[in-house]
Structure 1
Amino acid sequence: MGEVIARLAMSLDGYIAGPESGREHPLGIGGERLHSWVFGLRSFRRMQGMKGGAGGPDDELLAEWTERPGSVVMGHGMFISGETPWGDEPPFHAPVFVVTHHPRESVVKKGGTTYHFVTEGPGRALELAREAAGDKDVSLAGGADLVQQFIRAGWLDELLLHVVPVLACGGRRLFDNVGDTHIEWKQTQVLDSSPEVTHIRLRRTPVTS
């Protein structure tokens, strides 16, 4: 069985989306700045069905990470905010399990992405995603509320943060509402190859008394 992993871009003050994130502003106002470092990378462009792009350490890290998942879990808010820009061929190329209160039939897209809508909660979505992933990992795509639920439940094994040197000063914080239980993470990698972003890979570790 694989692990549960999440990869998120974050501002220096802890935000993963700007203010007023939603259907009109999927990344929040100004949130695009958190992701601008990735748009020119070869692996990102390949995920979007485009050619070309830059190589290097950032690209190698992203390419390695995107090969790991066999399925994806995301929240309903992320699905409805991202469905239009993702278009007919989303970048997931795997089964996607959407945690929602709105039951609907599965939606099949080009490139191997099928959206399945799970109304029994995030735990059930994770069970289905594990079954679909087989020996590969389950990618937790977001948004912030769902990631926080996974952290509280102890389901998230590894977290890759792309820390961008900006202050968002508002929006959706990653580490709000994660409970009052002490949580420790082990830093396993730091990659600082670009002035645009620093990558920090973390693994959740058991708390010892």
Structure 2
Amino acid sequence: MPKLRAHNITITLDGYATGTDQRLDAPFGDGVDGLHEWMFAALRARDEGDEGAAGIDADYVELGDENIGATIMGRNMFGPVRGAWQDESWTGWWGDNPPFHHDVFVRTHHLRPSLPMKGGTTFHFTDEPAETVLRRAFEAAAGQDVRLGGGPTTIQQYVRAGLLDELHLVVTPMLAGKGVRLFDNWGDEIDGYQVAEQVSSAAVTHVRLIRR
């Protein structure tokens, strides 16, 4: 049965997944510089053929793409624009050919027409309930799993709705002090998960949570 999975969700030691004041020159906000450097370093090493340096970090990044047929994300992950769209010139952080290559459902209160991109990615903007968006994503995935991309408030919404099957966390050794904490607002749903795997590289600790 297809699952809803979240991968490579990186948090600080004090639990923050984003900082404050997200904007064009600070995609994850202030106070979290280097939060995802573990990922970039691992992928650079693999691209350069240095498998020893890439190690398990690169393996986990690649696992996040396996058997994924559609993606759900919040508007904050799509871009830094807030409120009503001033125009439709913003097409995401990823350039003309985003790395998804499938349908991506962007949850937002401010709708705009679907946006087809090079490489097979189409962004769909929706204000439908979480369950409805997931149903549409499963239909688009055609039997494959759906990836929940984030940000943290979007993950919280799907956890509270009892819809997230698997969560791969990456804990990086830094402190933020403020921002948005991933584990806030989970309520009693946190009891529905268990740690299935925990392993550390030289840079970070990977933790995989699954539903009980």
The two structures have a TM-score, normalised by structure 2, of 0.85
Query: Could you say if the C-alpha distance between residues 181 and 198 of structure 1 is closer, same or farther in structure 2, counting changes exceeding 3 Å?
Result: closer
Find the counterpart in structure 2 of residue 161 from structure 1. 169
Residue 198 of structure 1 and its aligned partner are, at CA, apart by 0.6
1:173-184 paired onto structure 2 within 5 Å:
173-180=181-188, 183-184=191-192
Query: Could you say if the C-alpha distance between residues 203 and 103 of structure 1 is closer, same or farther in structure 2, counting changes exceeding 3 Å?
Result: same
State the secondary structure of the residue aligned to 1:117. Answer: strand
Q: Partners of 1:145 and 1:53 in 2: how far apart?
A: 36
Find the counterpart in structure 2 of residue 119 from structure 1. 127
Residue 119 of structure 1 and its aligned partner are, at CA, apart by 2.2
Q: What is the aligned-residue identity percentage?
A: 43
Find the counterpart in structure 2 of residue 28 from structure 1. 29
State the secondary structure of the residue aligned to 1:199. Answer: strand
Q: Partners of 1:53 and 1:65 in 2: how far apart?
A: 20
Query: Could you say if the C-alpha distance between residues 125 and 23 of structure 1 is closer, same or farther in structure 2, counting changes exceeding 3 Å?
Result: farther
Query: Could you say if the C-alpha distance between residues 2 and 32 of structure 1 is closer, same or farther in structure 2, counting changes exceeding 3 Å?
Result: farther
Q: 1:147 is matched by which residue type in structure 2?
A: I
State the secondary structure of the residue aligned to 1:90. Answer: coil
Alignment check: 8 A CA contact 2:10 2:36 kept: yes
Q: Partners of 1:181 and 1:187 in 2: how far apart?
A: 14
* Aligned residue among 187, 191, 204 for 2:199: 191
Unmatched runs of 5 consecutive residues or more in structure 2: 81-89
Residue 151 of structure 1 and its aligned partner are, at CA, apart by 0.6
Find the counterpart in structure 2 of residue 139 from structure 1. 147
Find the counterpart in structure 1 of residue 5 from structure 2. 5
Q: 1:5 is matched by which residue type in structure 2?
A: R
Q: Partners of 2:92 and 2:147 in 1: how far apart?
A: 21
Find the counterpart in structure 1 of residue 114 from structure 2. 106
Q: Partners of 1:60 and 1:167 in 2: how far apart?
A: 25
Q: Partners of 1:104 and 1:53 in 2: how far apart?
A: 42
Residue 45 of structure 1 and its aligned partner are, at CA, apart by 8.9
Find the counterpart in structure 2 of residue 94 from structure 1. 102
Alignment check: 8 A CA contact 1:100 1:121 kept: no
Alignment check: 8 A CA contact 1:18 1:29 kept: yes
Q: Partners of 1:21 and 1:72 in 2: how far apart?
A: 22
Residue 85 of structure 1 and its aligned partner are, at CA, apart by 3.0
How many residue pairs get aligned? The number is 199
Q: Partners of 1:54 and 1:93 in 2: how far apart?
A: 27
Find the counterpart in structure 1 of residue 60 from structure 2. 61
The two structures have a TM-score, normalised by structure 1, of 0.86
State the secondary structure of the residue aligned to 2:65. Answer: helix
Query: Could you say if the C-alpha distance between residues 126 and 23 of structure 1 is closer, same or farther in structure 2, counting changes exceeding 3 Å?
Result: farther
Q: Partners of 2:179 and 2:31 in 1: how far apart?
A: 10
